[in-house]
Amino acid sequence: MFAKTKNFIAEVRVELSKAQWPWDPNEKGFKRYKELWDSTVVVIIAMLLLGGYIAFFDLVTINVVGFLTTP
């Protein structure tokens, strides 16, 4: 049982060493996560723009339907 667990952990370490991480392991501090931070900012800005777009057209649709349905 312990041999299988040890073997599994060893295999996981090998596979993780093959992965390409979004930062340079030699960098220190904030510079290490620059690409991750930049990607997060892009996603947040995209979400805000899309949310504003949807909110604007929702408001327009509500007003148009309200205008057409009032006698």
Residue pLDDT, tens place only, 14-60? 998 888 777 676 777 777 778 888 999 999 999 999 999 999 999 99
pLDDT at 32: 75
Alpha carbons within 13 A on the beta-carbon side of 28 = 0
Q: In a 10 Å sphere around its CB, with 0-12 CB exposed, 13-18 middle and 19+ buried, how is residue 32 labelled?
A: middle
pLDDT at 67: 92
The domain spans of the chain are: 35-71
Residue 28 Cα distances to 25, 33, 35, 37, angstroms: 8, 9, 14, 14
Alpha helices in the chain (DSSP H): 2-18, 34-69
pLDDT band at 9 (very low <50, low <70, confident <90, very high): very high
Q: What is the C-alpha separation between 50 and 69, in angstroms, rounded? A: 28
